[in-house]
Amino acid sequence: MPEMNMMGGDMMGGGMMAAMGIWAVVLIATVLAVLVAAVLASIWLVRQLRHDRTMLRDGADAADILQRRYAAGEIDDDEYQRRRSTLSRP
């Protein structure tokens, strides 16, 4: 008859509990990583929205904003030209 450990199960049960513990740690680490990524994405989004709002509040018109975005590398040549032609239409 197999020997029983202190928990009342055989040796196989103890090994399964250890494996379940490892998966629990992996699950907790994954959930924490997702939460950290969500918080960082939220912070980035709020900063972007504040930056856009600040630019508009400072009296910058659409052409100035377009020029700043182009200079910062946020948009490419084709996008800049397309939007500039759209803004220059009456």
Please report the pLDDT score of residue 29 as a whole number: 96
> 61-88: per-residue pLDDT in tens?
788 888 888 999 999 999 999 998 988 8
Please report the pLDDT score of residue 20 as a whole number: 79
Please report the pLDDT score of residue 37 as a whole number: 98
> 4-59: per-residue pLDDT in tens?
555 555 555 566 667 778 889 999 999 999 999 999 999 999 988 887 776 666 55
Say whether pTM exceeds 0.75.
Answer: no
Whether residue 5 contacts residue 11, with contact meaning beta carbons closer than 8 Å, is answered with yes
Whether residue 7 contacts residue 13, with contact meaning beta carbons closer than 8 Å, is answered with yes
* Cα 35–chain centre separation: 9
